[in-house]
Structure 1
Amino acid sequence: MKAVLMEARGGPEVLRWGEIEAPQPGALEVRVQVKAVALNHLDVWVRKGTASPKLPLPHILGCDVAGIVESVGPGVEGFQPGEAVVLNPGVSCGRCERCLSGADNLCPNYQIIGEHRWGGYAEYIVVPEVNLAPKPAHLSWEEAASIPLTFLTAWQMVVDRLRVQPGEDVLVMAAGSGVSVAAIQIAKLYGARVIATSSSPEKLSAARQLGADEVVNYNEPGWSQRVKELTQGKGADAVVDHTGAEFWPEVIKATAWGGRISLSGASSGSQATTPLAHIFYRQLSILGSTMASKSRLFPILRWVDQGKLKPVVGMVLPLEAAAEGHRRLENRQVFGKVVLRV
């Protein structure tokens, strides 16, 4: 099969368009013909070696996939060749206490498609049957591929970790990212007032169109004070953040007394200085978050079917242009998802 192969760690140039033997489905596995695959910052971190640096090479990136069931392995009963599907990126053992309690993203053997196992920068991908869900019929392939990882991450942050309530002020950092695009919509779905941040007027305008009530440019010095002004001096009750060390001190200042911050990444660096007095004296809660239970994709897709949540595609490129997609993603040139068409 044709694929984009990661042959070393480094810049986008390590991604090479080539050919490799196609994987075959085993018991309870399905082979999917990939129609579209969306990029994530996780792809960049794996490529650089920040995440999973010991992966055997060559490796195939790509967490978010939409496509058609091409063939099924022994024991598969829920899907047949020809069905249109989206892939749930989280793979777990399915038998441990965490998995059986519904917290499969805490499984000791948890893997993410495209990080720990071959992903979707290819013509075909093999995944367990339990990682398939029917594609919403009204979505394009590119839109469908833009849903899973970012909406699952945002759902866990907003709903499961922050437990956002109607009327709360929710600060969403880096509004143009895939996770934040999803978080803005989910927070609004739960009745929150959303304050979105970004670095450009164009992205701030797009965030408003998506549903953000207020916007703040985080390139302006002391931008946390603007958040306080917008909340009558209180600050944000809950914060969705994955921006990392560069913005962390201001994020803490922008959070209300007794507020909650959910972290799912550190795009600007993971070595941040935390003023501990702010944490204990103002009684802040810092909540780590990675992905979500596979079960959460079902309500997400129902809301998508009803038009209450929608993927935002910012750019579509051919699969062989994956390196260019990485450059656009790293340079923050896109509002929404960069998607590769296969």
Structure 2
Amino acid sequence: MRAVVLDRYGGPEVLAVRDVAEPEPGPHQVVVRMAASGLNRLDVFVRQGLTGPGVRQPRALPHVMGAEGAGTVVAVGPAARTDLSPGDEVMVFSGLSCGSCRFCRRGETSRCPRYAILGEDVWGVQRELVALDPTSLLRVPAGLTLTEAAAVPTTFTTAWTMLMTTGRLRMGERLLVVGASGGVSTAAMQLAAWAGAEVWAATRSPDKARYLGGLPYVHEVVDSSVPGWSAEVRERTGGEGVDMVADAVGAPTWPDAIRSLATGGRLVICGATGGDRPDLSIRELYQAHRQILGAPFGGWNDFVDVVGLMGRTSIRPLVHATVPMERTGDGHLIIERDEHIGKVVVDLT
């Protein structure tokens, strides 16, 4: 079967589509024919071979890429504990966990000591067939295409965890999303609007600012290319600041993100794509009762909650581009160059 394979670390050109062995499913597993896979910044880090806190190289090369996706069930093992049947459309959850520790028993699977991520620690989903335990699969809600569904598991679960589980966003609060054009950010803005928050978007790009300003759920857009842009946030909020900042950028934006916060505000972070060594004053945190909260990825309960919401509402991923399997590297380039608004999806059919 065909797969997107990483044989060596490097630029997008190192990705190749070639044949790999089909999975040998166990009796408790479900076989899924993959239709599409959402790309994430994680895929870029894996391809580059980056290591450090929270970033791991694959355990061995060659390695099949892809942390999230969607497809159709083609076989169910005789001992699989599931109500899934061949023909069901499913989303693949990115996280793998032991299923028995105290965190897993509560559905907080991303806190599992043995937690692993598809496409990072083990072979991913950018291949024609995958065999997974039923605990990694969730039915696609009615109204979502498989392309849209492929963009949900990592992105929307992370956004939900940031805002709802960790950040405790409340109706009427102001949320500022930094780096507002990414997949998690565009998901977070929709979820925040659904929760009754006032949504602010920060971006460095004039073109993206115009697009984001036209979205019905975005209240204000801030130009974060301006040095000291937090002053504009405070001025436009009458000196109050915002109640929460959602930030995946990291070091370059932290100082202004923190200064944008109201007294008692929360900075919720899910990544550090721009760097992980911020220059900040601790006094600006504790003297204003501000908090920094980490939410790198959500657990199974978060995934179920946000997918359930999408089944009841019109919330959908913004899909910037779809690329064929053979051009997965082009999708990586779009992300690396920050050209996207929303998600880039790989067509695996």
In structure 2, distance between residues paired with 1:98 and 1:80: 29
Equivalent residue number for residue 336 of structure 1: 342
- What SS class does the counterpart of residue 338 from structure 1 fall into? strand
Deviation (angstroms), 1:101: 2.0
Q: Which residue is 1:5 aligned to? A: 5
RMSD: 1.4
**TM-score (normalizing by structure 2):** 0.94
What letter is aligned with 1:84? E
Report whether the alignment pairs 1:55 with 2:59.
yes
Structure 2 counterpart of 1:181, from 174, 177, 186: 186
Of 196, 201, 204, the residue aligned with 1:196 is: 201
- In structure 2, stretches of 5+ residues that fail to align are none
Assess if the C-alpha contact under 8 Å between 1:84 and 1:134 holds in 2. Answer: yes
How many residue pairs align between the two structures? 342
Q: CA 1:335–1:157 in structure 2 vs 1: closer, same or farther (change >3 Å)?
A: same
How far apart are the structure 2 equivalents of 1:125 and 1:196? 37
Counterpart for residue 70 of structure 1: 74
**Residue 108 in 1 paired to residue 121 in 2?**
no
1:309 paired to 2:305:
no
Q: Distance in 1 between matches of 2:151 and 2:261?
A: 30
1:319 aligned to which of 316, 319, 325: 325
Q: Moved runs in structure 1, 4+ residues, more than 6 A?
A: none
Give the whole-Å Cα distance in 1 for the aligned partners of 2:158 and 2:27.
29
- Cα distance in 1 between the residues matched to 2:61 and 2:275: 25
| 1:252 equivalent in alignment to 2:258 | yes
* Structure 2 equivalent of residue 98 of structure 1: 103
Q: Which runs of 5+ in 1 are unaligned?
A: none
What corresponds to 1:32 in structure 2? 32
TM-score, scaled to structure 1: 0.96
CA contact (8 A) 1:9 1:49 kept: yes
**What SS does structure 1 have at the residue aligned with 2:233?**
helix
Cα distance 1:132–1:165, how it changes in 2: closer, same or farther (>3 A)?
Answer: same
Which range moves more in the overlay, 3-12 or 199-208?
Answer: 199-208
1:20 lines up with 2:20 in the alignment: yes
Residues 1:131 and 2:157 aligned together:
no
How far apart are 1:54 and its partner, in Å?
5.1
SS in 1 for 2:64: coil
Counterpart AA for 2:184: V
2:91 partner SS: strand
Look up the equivalent residue of 1:70 and give its one-letter code. Answer: V
Cα deviation, 1:232-281, whole Å, max 9, x if unaligned, reads 11111111001011112111111122111111100111122231111222
Mapped to 1, the partners of 2:299 and 2:56 lie a distance apart of 21
Higher deviation after alignment, 207-216 or 148-157: 207-216
Secondary structure at 1:152's aligned position in 2?
Answer: helix
Query: What CA distance in whole angstroms lies between the structure 2 residues aligned with 1:331 and 1:196?
Result: 19
Q: Name whichever of 246-255 and 328-337 sits farther off.
A: 246-255
Would you say the 8 A contact 1:198–1:204 is kept in 2? yes
Are positions 1:81 and 2:86 aligned together? yes
Q: How does 1:154-169 map to 2 (within 5 A)?
A: 154-169=159-174
User: What SS does the corresponding residue of 1:18 show, helix, strand or coil?
Assistant: strand
Given that residues 91 and 110 in structure 1 are in contact (C-alpha distance below 8 angstroms), is that contact kept between their aligned partners in structure 2? yes
